[in-house]
């Protein structure tokens, strides 16, 4: 692993179920249908951990037997999937947080410069949520994540978390240096980037593997 200091706001899941599913996700033999299922399942598990400190409002509830203490989510949660690959994480997060709002951001990485290019932004004029979860399976150079966080902060977002499936140390360091307030939750922290900006060992191109659009070799 390159000698990049890792920030305290990085959470790498240690859950055995996640490690098991990640192994299948990485496997080059895993077909798009199974790959999408795994993206969804791992997203649920990482999202569950990322929401551990969501704020609650106390609320009584009447059971068939008596009234007792209950709680409802007080935070208005915004899910911001980064197109395309982040789309595969949305359904799982909506299962966890059915009232979340979903705001799509389209960014692709220019494969020559590795810089993000914004092509779609459906955010309204000002922030409508208390907690934003950016959904993107891959954190590689960090360019896309930093650009997405820039957009959300300009929008007025204050609490932002990044939810990834695989992160590279370089991407974690890039986010932490520009946006040290942003928590990163990831299923795995991999070794490094290769010369083309792909995560090693990684899983290849997350968008292509979900949507079956990889170019034949
Ligand atoms: C992938 C991935 C991230 C980005 C990560 O998207 O889903 O958005 O690359 O790379 P970075 O950290 O170096 O910016 P890609 O640009 O391939 O677009 P896609 O989801 O449409 O395939
Ligand atoms: N985007 C991906 O989909 N995979 C990588 O390894 C890096 C960026």
CATH of the domain at 181: 3.40.50.2020
C-beta of residue 106 within 8 angstroms of C-beta of residue 56: no
Task: Give residue-wise pLDDT tens across range 195-207.
Answer: 999 999 999 999 9
Each residue's pLDDT tens digit, 117-171: 999 998 988 889 999 999 999 999 999 999 999 999 999 999 999 999 999 999 9
- Has residue 23 been placed in a domain? yes
Could you give the CA distance from residue 181 to residue 51 in angstroms, rounded to a whole number? 16
Task: Evaluate whether residue 62 is within a structural domain.
Answer: no
Establish if 135 belongs to a structural domain: yes
Q: In whole angstroms, what separates CA 157 from the centre of its chain? A: 16
- Which ligand is the nearest neighbour of the Cα of 149? 1
143 CA: nearest ligand 1 atom: 14
Whether residue 112 is contained in a domain is answered as yes
Residues 39-91 have pLDDT tens digits of 999 999 999 999 999 999 999 999 999 999 999 999 999 999 999 999 999 99
Instruction: With H, G, I as helix, E, B as strand and everything else as coil, classify residue 114.
Output: coil
Pick the atom of ligand 2 nearest to 137's CA: 3
**What is the model's pLDDT at position 59?**
97
* Total domains present in the chain: 1
Residue 216 lies in a domain: no
Residue 198 alpha carbon to ligand 2 centre in Å: 5
For residue 198, give the ligand 2 atom closest to its CA.
6
State the pLDDT at residue 129: 95
Q: The tokens of 74 are what?
A: 């007080």
Query: Active-site residue 125, yes or no?
Result: no
The answer to whether residues 42 and 187 touch, using CB atoms and an 8 Å cutoff, is yes
Whether residue 2 lies inside any domain: the answer is: no
Residue nearest to atom 6 of ligand 1 (CA): 108
- The CA 131 to ligand 2 mean position distance, Å, reads 26
Asked whether residue 5 is domain-assigned, the answer is no
Please tell me if the CB atom of residue 138 comes closer than 6 angstroms to any atom of ligand 2: yes
The pTM score is: 0.95
* Residue found under tokens 């360019």: 143
User: Catalytic annotation on 53?
Assistant: no
Residues spanned by the domain of 158: 10-53+76-211
Apex 215 CA angle, 211 and 217, nearest 5: 135
Question: Ligand nearest 203 Cα, by number?
Answer: 2
Report whether 205 contacts 169 (CB < 8 A): no
Q: Please give the distance, rounded to the nearest whole angstrom, from the Cα atom of residue 96 to the centre of ligand 1.
A: 24
Q: What pLDDT does 214 receive?
A: 85
Q: Using CA atoms, how far apart are residues 162 and 11, in angstroms rounded to an integer? A: 10
């Amino acid at each position: 692993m390159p000698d990049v200091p890792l920030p305290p706001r990085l959470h790498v899941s240690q859950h055995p179920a996640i490690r098991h599913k990640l192994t299948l996700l990485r496997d080059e033999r895993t077909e798009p249908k199974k790959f999408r299922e795994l993206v969804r399942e791992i997203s649920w598990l990482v999202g569950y951990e990322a929401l551990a400190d969501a704020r609650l409002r106390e609320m009584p509830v009447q059971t068939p037997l008596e009234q007792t203490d209950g709680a409802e989510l007080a935070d208005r949660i915004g899910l911001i999937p980064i197109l395309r690959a982040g789309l595969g994480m949305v359904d799982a997060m909506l299962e966890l947080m059915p009232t979340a709002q979903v705001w799509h951001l389209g960014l692709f990485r220019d494969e020559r410069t590795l810089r993000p290019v914004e092509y779609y932004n459906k955010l309204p004029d000002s922030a409508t949520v208390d907690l934003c979860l950016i959904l993107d399976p891959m954190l590689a150079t960090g360019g896309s994540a930093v650009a997405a966080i820039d957009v959300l902060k300009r929008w007025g977002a204050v609490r932002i978390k990044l939810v990834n499936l695989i992160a590279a140390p370089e991407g974690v360091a890039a986010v932490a240096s520009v946006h040290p307030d942003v928590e990163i939750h990831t299923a795995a922290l991999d070794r490094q980037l290769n010369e083309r900006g792909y995560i090693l060992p990684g899983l290849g191109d997350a968008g292509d593997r979900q949507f079956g659009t990889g170019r034949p070799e």
